[in-house]
Structure 1
Amino acid sequence: MTEPRVSVEFQQRELFPELPDEKTMTAWVAAAAERDVEITIRFVDEAEGFDLNSRYRHKDYATNVLTFDYEHEPVVRADLAICVPVLVRQAREQGKTFLAHLCHLIVHGTLHAHGYDHVTQEQADVMEPLEIRILQKIGFEDPYQDRGEQPEDSQRRPLP
């Protein structure tokens, strides 16, 4: 079996100097890829995160990650919006490193792009162990070990 082809475009990365290099983040997407993937990851501030979450989920707060999945097969096509200020705050509150939490959100969003979900307990029982295995393979701890806040995301509509 050949490795999936992974194409990642990063948007607004230059606004957040604390982000790791693109090669590292692309490797995180690749670790979660089950088939060919074309993903755009847009890093947003709190205002844009609020706008996206309000517009597409009708929630009046900025969330950590939003997943906009367009196609699951034969190629996974999706956009992820990661709100860096929320990520920073949550990492601090949960006693996690910035990199560990960022990796978790990228893996989490990539799995959603593949069609995984965690709305029901049955779905979570499939998605979360997979997430944990991927993160541990990369070198990060189980993000759910303290059962803190989980990533929030949306798969409702594509970005405009």
Structure 2
Amino acid sequence: MTKGPVQLDIAVGYAVPRKGVPAAASFRRWAGAALAGRILQADLAIRVVDTAEGQALNRHYRGKDYATNVLSFPADLPEGLPPGVRLPLLGDLVICAPVVEREAREQGKPLNAHYAHLTVHGVLHLLGWDHDNDVEADAMEQLEREILAGLGVDDPYRADS
């Protein structure tokens, strides 16, 4: 674990109407909670998109022809940097607002809580966490629960949450 405050530079872009979509300050808080103690400095971009853009990105980058709730694009450091030089570029998140809204409604979850969960989930992917098997999934979900609890958000994996 890394000690000290996170220096987070986050850009939030909205390709959808802002009604019902959290403010940049909320995304910044949620991402900061996921990064706290794990990284000292990070540049992160979040783009909130509609179904068409979400589907196009998911199809292009993952070969899946549907819009998904969150896509994570980790940044690769440029080649040839001098030894010891590190850039804080973490990557990009793409969050599909209509999918998030539909899922929150179907799962009976508060909309902001679902946005918080997916932001934390996406940031953890940028940090290298994954859920390709049961062991990885259990570890990642437990970390998400802990981060979200610190934000006052209920366990997103509880059947009645």
Range of TM-score over shorter length: 0.7 to 0.9
Which runs of no fewer than 5 residues in structure 2 stay unpaired? 78-85
Q: CA distance change for structure 1 residues 79 and 30 in 2, over 3 Å: closer, same or farther? A: same
Q: Contact 1:76–1:114 at 8 Å: present in 2 too?
A: no
Q: Match for 2:138: what amino acid?
A: D
TM-score, structure 1 normalization: 0.85
- 5+ long unaligned stretches in structure 1: 149-160
Cα separation, 2, equivalents of 1:125 and 1:143: 13
One-letter amino acid matched to 1:111: L
Q: Cα distance, 1:123 vs. partner?
A: 1.1
Q: Could you tell me which residue of structure 1 aligns to residue 66 of structure 2?
A: 61
- Compute the RMSD of aligned alpha carbons: 2.0
TM-score (normalised: structure 2): 0.85
Question: Deviation above 4 Å: which 4+ runs of structure 1?
Answer: 71-74
1:65-95 per-position Cα deviation (integer Å, ceiling 9, x unaligned) = 0000114977351100000000000000001
Q: What corresponds to 2:83 in structure 1?
A: none
Question: Secondary structure in 2 aligned to 1:31?
Answer: helix
- 1:126 positional shift: 1.7
Distance of 1:134 and 1:146 partners within structure 2:
19
Q: Does 1:45 align with 2:50?
A: yes
Contact kept in structure 1, 2:16 and 2:97, CA below 8 Å: no
- 8 Å contact from structure 2 (residues 16, 50) kept in 1: no
Aligned letter for 1:134? I
**Which structure has the greater CA radius of gyration?**
2
Q: State how 1:35-114 maps to structure 2 within 5 Å.
A: 35=39, 36-71=41-76, 75=88, 77-114=90-127
